[in-house]
Amino acid sequence: MPVGTPGGGGGGGNMATLSSSYLENATIVNDNKPKIDPEKYIRCFNDGKPAKEYKMTIYINQPNPGSNDQWTSDINSNIGQGFITPGGQIFNVGHTFVSFIKVNTDGSSVTQVMGFYPGGLGLKSPGIVKDDGGHAYNVSYTSSVTVDQFNLSLNTVINDSKNTVYNLGNYIFGGVEYNCTDAASAWMGNAGIRLPAGVARGLFTNTPGDYGQVLSNVNGANKSPGKAPQSHGECN
């Protein structure tokens, strides 16, 4: 059963009808972005400067902007994470990620942009964190947080990079989904940012397509497409 047609998009209904056995053996398409050590990224916030504000932004790049489609057959890695079935069909589920910004009283700032990814070849594998600086998005939401909330969220990022399994959907491997959207939602939630829950539909509890539609209806959401800021990178 094909996932899609080359160059097209979809998945609003078709993805939900795919059997779990069809997707269990799908593998990831390598985006050539290396994993990072988030602890080295987090060290950069300890710059010795007094902070004026801490901010976090959740970014979503839907497979088809403005639609709840759960996938597209466009493999462009700046859309999101791509997978390929044993039959050679590609589905790209989009991506959700988070920026962390410390704004200092002298006007300088430190920005790190991170997202959760599968670290192996399959739909379920050890999770890793990658640098998503410059990644495209089409809907976002920003909130100021306290330093304690900021640090609590960053600790969650570290824990996810070390101990959490990436599982694309709720349909296989015990049904415990934890993908990029679940992780980004958890990072925001652990900082006290209360956003609506995801929409469970078909094989998934949360997808960038579905959650992008949810987020776009939140008061204060930014629905103008763009690219996330670049990350500062590692600090020793």
**Per-residue pLDDT reduced to its tens digit, 41-78:** 999 999 999 999 999 999 999 999 999 999 898 888 88
Give the chain as a DSSP string.
--S--TT-EE-SSHHHHS-HHHHHT-EEPP--PPB--HHHHHGGG--SS-EEEEEEEEEEE-SSTTS---EES---TTT--EEE-TTS-EEE--EEEEEEEEEETTS-EEEEEEEEEESSSBSEEEEEEEE-TT-EESEEEEEEE-HHHHHHHHHHHHHHHHHPEEE--SSSGGG--B-HHHHHHHHHHTTT---PPP--BTTBS--HHHHHHHHHTSTT-B-S-EEPPPP-----
Nearest to 55 by CA among 96, 98, 102: 102
pLDDT at 85 over 90: no
Name the band, by pLDDT with cuts 50, 70 and 90, for residue 21.
low
User: What integer pLDDT is reported at residue 1 of this predicted model?
Assistant: 22
Name the band, by pLDDT with cuts 50, 70 and 90, for residue 123.
confident
User: What integer pLDDT is reported at residue 230 of this predicted model?
Assistant: 98
| Mean of the per-residue pLDDT values of the chain | 89
Name the band, by pLDDT with cuts 50, 70 and 90, for residue 3.
very low
| Residue type at 66 in one-letter notation | G
User: What integer pLDDT is reported at residue 6 of this predicted model?
Assistant: 27
Cα–Cα distance for residue pair 195/184, rounded to 1 Å? 11
User: What integer pLDDT is reported at residue 216 of this predicted model?
Assistant: 98
Q: What is the mean pLDDT of residues 203-213?
A: 93
